[in-house]
Every structure is written in C-alpha cells, then in structure tokens.
Amino acid sequence: MRTLLRASRPAQAKQDARPEGLASGLLAPLTPQERRVLQLLAEGASNQEIANRLVVSLATAKKHVASILSKLGAENRTQAIARARSLSLL
C-alpha cells in the first residue's frame, strides 16, 4: 500500500503544478483592467474612487477588487498590495 502511495505522488505533483506562465506566484494572470485597479488600490483608492476613475459601476469595481484578492491569494487590500509588490507587479 505504501509503495502504491509513493508511486502516485509524482503524478499528483505534476497535476498540481501551475500552468506555464503562472510561475510568478499568481493563481491566475491579472487582466489589464485588474492591473489598473491594483495600481489604484496601491494609491489607497476606495471602491467608489476606483469606479469613478475607471468609469465603471461600483459593483464592477468591487468585482475587480475581489478577483485581484483571489488571484493574489490575499485576504485584504493590504495583503494584496504587499503580495503584488513582492511579485514586482507594482
């Protein structure tokens, strides 16, 4: 049984490997609009300010922020900005 488990681990590791292009540490690449939102987040903009500056609805701005947090594996804006800086996205 243990031999079988050991033999299956390399295959599992390959299945869990990130797709090419995501080696930067992101769960998924940021879209150009998400990069703009990220820059505004780093400047301290609120969701409403982001919406106003990018001429999108407040709901859309919130969706972009949520997507950025998810892709960066962050729980809040501060973590997202720190993670983005560590990945040289800012």
Residue 66 phi, psi (nearest 5): -60, -40
The reply to whether 19 falls in a domain is no
Count structural domains, the chain: 1
Q: What gap in Å lies between CA 33 and CA 60, rounded to an integer?
A: 11
Does residue 71 contact residue 27 with C-beta atoms inside 8 Å? yes
- Look up the CATH number of the domain holding residue 65: 1.10.10.10
- Give the pair of three-digit tokens for residue 49: 């300010």
Nearest to 35 by CA among 22, 56, 21, 54: 54
Could you say which DSSP state residue 24 is in?
Answer: T
- pLDDT tens per residue across span 13-27: 444 444 433 446 777
In a domain, residue 14? The reply is no
- Would you say residue 87 lies in a domain? yes
Q: Does residue 22 belong to any structural domain of this protein?
A: no
Question: Per-residue pLDDT tens for 72-88?
Answer: 999 999 999 999 999 99
pTM confidence score: 0.72
